[in-house]
Chain A
């Protein structure tokens, strides 16, 4: 024992009485309890109404039933792959490697239908999505998920959750309770307005001629550090045909996916990445509100998709979480609260389906269907 000085003292007055010891032990116990309570409070155990990832996942399950191994939303999908060539036109707005002229990023993508039912039949009205993962030679990675609707139906995580709950099927009728839907819309007027815009959209004949919108705003940052609010869209370079009434009556439950498979067998499909430049006053934190039509748009590059595979086969998209917050230097999140909400929910969804992988049923669009060229 390192002892500088030792002096013997009569220390009887310094010894703790049993009562004092007990009191001090109680203080220690109390302080530890406070620390444990703080931990529990941050973890949400003391606030049962906090909207957590688990509650969001539970709402999906109440609406759609249990489908182990599938994404909780956009459950029915198909993997595609190809590349993205930057045009250089957006390089003055964003220093992102993907936008450099002549820069080519490898792309692993996924087309899907919104909703958590992995075996739902394709319909014209169902929202279509395109999710992309860009891998640039420099090692930077960017993921984005887009939908073929002009605005998003809700502008907050709570709105999304409330909408899921309002759409839950009534056990007796098997359909959503109209009163619950009405009550939801009255509490969320932004959804009523956005839904009107969504319903008024013209629907194209398939995935290949759909325009997919980022819906959420982001910020582009250039090499000088200047930051610009943007939204983006993938606009098809294929001729756009309107959805024909006959298509809806198609006996093929996967007609949208099968058409896509057949088209990709014939030739690559291309989209332009059009970046809309926001101006002061354009809402960046509210995905239910469109930006004015006259905003300047920049063609940042061309997406080419030339291969397709089932999610059950070599589908490289199956184990990708298309988290909209996987961004690269030059693209940053905006103040839109949905970005965090999506990122949080997608992460939980990914974890759940990774845990359930062994119990997953076959995907609706099977490996055989892709091999057969889309005829199911």
Chain B
């Protein structure tokens, strides 16, 4: 007969506000097998945990039921609590009377009755609990970092510093990411390139880091400590071992196309590096635009290359690597400025977005740092910046704040005035959000020292009249309509998740939110971890983040990777599926249904020496979701910790309530 202790938590007023916890605890005392039942204000606190420990010791409890919050939050906490008293952690069960009860009900009597039912069910299950023992799995101590922007680079450097090998995979021909496109950075106005390019060199020269640019991860299999990834190295058409980076080929290449790096404001060649400080400084041939690949003749680059590095026959190469942890640093996209019909919807050349402004004012950009109207090349004198374009907009299904636009717009205002002192700058804003170290001061500088005119209100329409852009908006502080004749309009367009973020998430098996940003394990207490263990998040793939935040989260993720790599073995959760070969008919239904590819058929030798085929669940890959259990016709699969007996016992307990 089990000796069960029931511990009911108030969670301050979170539970006690709606559920009569004292009464619930008293009611539970009479349940079959319950030796002791009591309540406490915060069960998860130190004194709360001490109560559990004391009672386990005093009453020789062998099952513990904690009625509190979701097991997602505190199951681990209470498992560790009982472990200290020598009890197997899997003999703890949690009844969720917060998220699934007190938070969603208003009526005290009904919520209390429901809490009782929930706890009775849990007691029923706990009665049938068996001790479970985790398995040990070896860890491959090499990390993969996805994305070579500032956060991916920082993560790679931090992990490499501890001595672990890192593979840094970047989709474009160079590492550097968005930061390489910026001119100056807020709130210090130091030049982005001056702080970024040395870091890029650090990454390149670090012996522990292997950079794979112009490459994409194609598949990820396995589990924490033991991922197998396939990486496609796209054909560069340039031999990396021979190329000296002299740039002769790029000068002589006859085909020009719009530069992605300059967002269409400048041109690049068909053989190119995205920017002069690229790492690696080895160009790629864009086969879609190369004359040789499209028309069959040209080959100028091959003729001029002194190192004979051009290789038109190069093919994509797919390599397989084993890694123990993956850091996702895939970054963000900007929403398409052409979709905002009130701002011209792409009809006006002189309506640009913040990143285009950044390229224009960058001395290595397409206009060599001179502000010019894209339409006629004239220097703009009146500039209007519009914030929250596409952000904080329920109509577009994008209610979130893009976070850094307030700051970069203030920076743009300052830079404009430094480049063109007699320019007049207007900024339309909803609220100025400058909550960072020295951020508010920076915005005040833009307004007070540089004379940027901040107008609180939305712009309703932009239209062209006599070669000027008329910006019509509301100034809600003076309660009037304003019309500004602008030469250049800069839209702070929303930061959005990468276009293929959902595909990447599916490949990695990680969740994403309604805006397609990847979801961390806990928004406050596990901000870089992921529910898929072994995968960590950093940078703006998670939510809009500026440079300081991206770097900080990168270092955070690196610490988590290094903590994982601190051990040679991993202790795996034992609550996984198990197949009884004596009942299994080898029908493979479970193989088809398993979302994690955790089940395989193998040949084993029986004690009598004969070979026999049977199914096996791979420890560490199985997540314990139970899909195979439900699908198994002969009932050969058991989910440890959720056996049929445990579930039946739960149901019986519930039925006995009515």
The answer to whether A and B interact is no
